[in-house]
Structure 1
Amino acid sequence: MYTKRNYSIKIMLSWTRRNIYKFVIISAIPTILYVVLDWKFIHLPWLPIALVGSALAFIVSFKNNASYGRLWEARKVWGGIVNTSRSFTIMINDFITNQHANEKLSDKEFFSVRKELVMRHIAWMTSLRHALRAPKPWEMSSVNSSDREYMNDVEINERKFSLDEELEGYLSAEEKQYVLSKANKQTACLNLQSKHLRRLKEQGYIWEFSFLEMENLIVELFTLQGKLERIKNFPYPRQFATLNLFFVWIFIMLLPFGIINVFDEIGLKILNAYENPSWFMEIIGNGFVWLSIPFSVIVSWIFHTMERIGEVSENPFEGIANDVPITTMSRGIEIDIRQMIEDEPSSIPKGISEQKGIQM
């Protein structure tokens, strides 16, 4: 049985194994030429390569910080949706009353009104997550072989079901047709919500100041939606993302040429340390240059994996293991707010199950 830490290491090595094979080949070829064919001239000075590595570390760190900032902002915005959804539902429960109404409604009729508002809110979240899952030209996980292999047997609701199918039961047929006819379907849901609140206010079921409070939450939902759309529709600048990858591969290609001579000199020092070295020390001294291969592979793997982590973090809604689990969070919100209005337990869906330890 794997511990969580060991399992994560196993997943990471599996996720990057194709690149590890490339690093082994890139490192082995110069070493074979240097040792077997005695091409001693192919080595490069270590100092400029070390300077390139130092500069690259800063560049990769900058990209990772920026990518993590996008990921963390997306998670915070969804946290805001969680809080605003609960606040909106509390207001639906307590602000919609007969206090100022001329025509009184029964408890059953009030429940119907509350449920309609809550279900429309869920339709808004459904439309929003479908919009966020829509592929963009700059999102690379769908074409990256390692990402596709890892996510191959993971089902994503937004890819498995159409928005038309997922809106079924949350909107009336007329409202559903209206929403699907609009380019920005999540905005259409909030527009319907606001119109419904206005009608309730005009009929006296919502006090004027309560109506303003509820409209403020609609405005807040628009703000949160806009923040998510900004992250989705404006990518991490391509000049940084592309050049980072080029710089990493340039460093990986140069690295073996810079360290083979260093390891060869260490082997010679081991031999020269003894006047009559034993056969064991001769093997170590003469073969020490071959250690440049695993050393080069490890250093290459570290730099490339850090660059890959930044790459998969910069677009937090693609639907891969490192993304914000918007489907799971939306279902959690739905369960919370439907329970808050005392909806029938049997009609409330279950939470989204993890797949391969991933929340989608």
Structure 2
Amino acid sequence: MYTKKQYRISIVLSWTKRYILIFFLLAIIPVIFYELAEWKWLQLPWLPIGLIGTALAFISGFKNNAAYDRLWEARKIYGGIVNASRTLTTMVNDFITDEFAAKKYLDSDLFKIRKEIIMRHVAWMTALRYSLRKPKEWESSFSNKSDKEFMKSIEVDEYKYSLKEQLEGYLSDAELEEVLSKTNKQTGCLKLQSNHFKKLKISGLIEDFRHMEFKNSIEELFTLQGKAERIKNFPYPRQFATLNIIFVWIFIILIPFGLMNEFENIGDRLMQSHANLITNNFVWLSVPFSMVISWIFMLMERVGDTSENPFDGGMNNGVPITTMSRGIEIDIREMIDDDKQEIPQPYPKTRDSQM
């Protein structure tokens, strides 16, 4: 059995296996010509390469910080959705009464109205996460070969089931048809919710103050939706991302040419006191060291690249919106005392987060 740490290491190595092979070839080919073909001129001083590496570390750090900011903001947005959902459910429980109505309602009738609102709210969350999962051309999960290969091992509901399948049971047939006819389906859900609150006010189940509070709740949900859509639809500036990957590959290609001479000089010095097979072939140690340095810089680049898009459902530490939405649904349906047999079960913890 793997420990959690071993599992994560195996995931990372599997994710970067294509790059590891490339790094090996880039590292060993120059050494073959340098050592076996005696092309001793095939070398570069390490100082300028080291300066490039230092500059690249700052550039990659800037990109990773920006990517993490996008990831953390996305997580805060969904944290806001959690809180807004609970607040809405509390208002649904406490505000919808027959206190101001012209006629009295049975508790079962009031529960039916409350549940209809909550189920429509779940439909909004479902439509929102489907919108956030739509592939964009700049998302590495759908453009990078390693990421696409890894995506095959991840089960994501939004890529497995249609939105219509997921919304059935949460909306009436007429509401479902109306929502699916909209370009922005999550906005369509909130429109239906707003219309329902208006009808409740007209029927006397809520009065003006409570109606305004429900409207404020709708406004907050629109704000959170807009923030999430902004992150989804506006990528990390591509000029920075493109330049960064170009600089990384330039540095990786140059590394072996700088390390060969350094390791050969170390071997020559060691031979003065310890002449043996290792010191005679010390230059070959530049191969594993080149691979390690290349892997570290590329891994930094790839982590930043995948973290830019926190909603794509890939193998990064993105926001697990499928799991979180299911958790919110369970929470708010329990708050209205819905039938426990009808409330769905939580998703496994690793549902949409693999690392």
**Shared fold per TM-score greater than 0.5:** yes
How far 1:84 moved relative to its partner?
0.5
Deviation per residue, 1:210-244 (Å, 9 max, x gap): 22112111100000000000000001100011111
**2:352 equivalent to 1:351:** no
Whole-angstrom distance in 1 between the partners of 2:163 and 2:179: 10
How far 1:199 moved relative to its partner?
1.3
Secondary structure (helix, strand or coil) at the match of 2:311 reads: coil
Correspondence 1:1-360 to 2 at 5 A? 1-272=1-272, 274=273, 277=274, 281-322=275-316, 323-354=318-349, 358=353
Secondary structure (helix, strand or coil) at the match of 2:41 reads: helix
How far 1:143 moved relative to its partner?
3.1
Whole-angstrom distance in 2 between the partners of 1:40 and 1:292: 15
Q: Is the 8 A contact 1:325 1:359 kept in 2?
A: no
Whole-angstrom distance in 2 between the partners of 1:359 and 1:157: 15
Deviation per residue, 1:154-183 (Å, 9 max, x gap): 221111111111111111111111111111
* More divergent stretch after superposition (138-147 vs 96-105): 138-147
How far 1:2 moved relative to its partner?
2.1
Whole-angstrom distance in 1 between the partners of 2:33 and 2:125: 59
Secondary structure (helix, strand or coil) at the match of 1:42 reads: coil
How far 1:207 moved relative to its partner?
2.4
How far 1:355 moved relative to its partner?
5.1
Q: Is the 8 A contact 1:353 1:359 kept in 2?
A: no
Secondary structure (helix, strand or coil) at the match of 2:104 reads: coil
Amino acid at match of 2:341: S
Whole-angstrom distance in 1 between the partners of 2:161 and 2:6: 35
Whole-angstrom distance in 1 between the partners of 2:195 and 2:124: 14
How far 1:358 moved relative to its partner?
3.5
How far 1:118 moved relative to its partner?
0.3
Deviation per residue, 1:265-293 (Å, 9 max, x gap): 01111112x3xx4xxx3323211111100
Q: Is the 8 A contact 1:89 1:118 kept in 2?
A: yes
Relative to structure 1, the CA distance from residue 222 to residue 148 in structure 2 (aligned partners, 3 Å threshold; closer, same or farther) is: same
Q: Is the 8 A contact 1:128 1:186 kept in 2?
A: yes
Q: Is the 8 A contact 1:20 1:301 kept in 2?
A: yes
How far 1:139 moved relative to its partner?
1.2
Amino acid at match of 1:210: R
Query: Structure 1: which 5+ runs fail to align?
Result: none
Amino acid at match of 1:282: N
TM-score for the superposition, normalised by structure 1: 0.95
Amino acid at match of 2:97: T
Whole-angstrom distance in 1 between the partners of 2:277 and 2:347: 58
Secondary structure (helix, strand or coil) at the match of 1:345 reads: coil
Amino acid at match of 1:301: W
Q: Is the 8 A contact 1:154 1:355 kept in 2?
A: no
Q: Is the 8 A contact 2:100 2:204 kept in 1?
A: yes
Amino acid at match of 2:255: L
Whole-angstrom distance in 1 between the partners of 2:102 and 2:354: 48
Whole-angstrom distance in 2 between the partners of 1:53 and 1:112: 64
Deviation per residue, 1:181-206 (Å, 9 max, x gap): 11111011111111111111122111
Q: Is the 8 A contact 2:141 2:306 kept in 1?
A: yes
Identity %: 59
Runs of 4+ with deviation above 3 angstroms:
354-360
How far 1:5 moved relative to its partner?
1.4
Amino acid at match of 1:46: W
Q: Is the 8 A contact 1:328 1:359 kept in 2?
A: no
Whole-angstrom distance in 1 between the partners of 2:105 and 2:135: 46
Amino acid at match of 2:131: A
Amino acid at match of 1:85: S
Query: Structure 2: which 5+ runs fail to align?
Result: none
Secondary structure (helix, strand or coil) at the match of 2:281 reads: helix
